[in-house]
Amino acid sequence: MAVAFIFPGQGSQYSGMGKEIYEAFKEAREVFEEASEGAKVDIAKLCFEAPESELTLTYNAQPAIFTVSMAVLRVLESAGFSEKPVVVAGHSLGEFSAACAAKVFSVQDGALLVRKRGEFMQEAVPAGVGGMTAVIGLTAEKIEEILREVKGGFVQVANYNSPEQTVISGEIKALEEAEEKLRQAGAKRVVRLAVSAPFHSELMKPAAEKLKELMKLMEFKEANVPLLNNADVELLKRPDEIKDSFYRQVFSPVRWVEDVLKMKEMGVDTLYEIGPKNVLKGLVRRIDRELKVVNVEKPKKVF
Burial 153-170 (b: 16+ CB within 10 A, else e): bbbbbbbbbbebbbbbbb
Chain-centre distance for alpha carbon 79:
26
Identify whether the C-beta of residue 263 lies closer than 8 Å to the C-beta of residue 89.
yes
Please tell me the distance from the alpha carbon of residue 246 to that of residue 265, in angstroms, as a whole number.
24
Residue 91 annotated to the active site: no
Gyration radius from the chain CA atoms: 18
Residues 6+ apart with CB under 8 A from 92: 9, 10, 159, 199, 200, 230, 249, 254
Residues 6+ apart with CB under 8 A from 67: 18, 31, 32, 35, 36, 43, 47, 107, 111
**Catalytic position from the list 12, 97, 200, 201:** 200
Beta bridge partners of 236: 227
The length of the chain in residues reads 303
3-state secondary structure of 57: coil
**Catalytic position from the list 12, 69, 92, 169:** 92
**233 secondary structure, DSSP code:** -
Active site residues: 92, 200
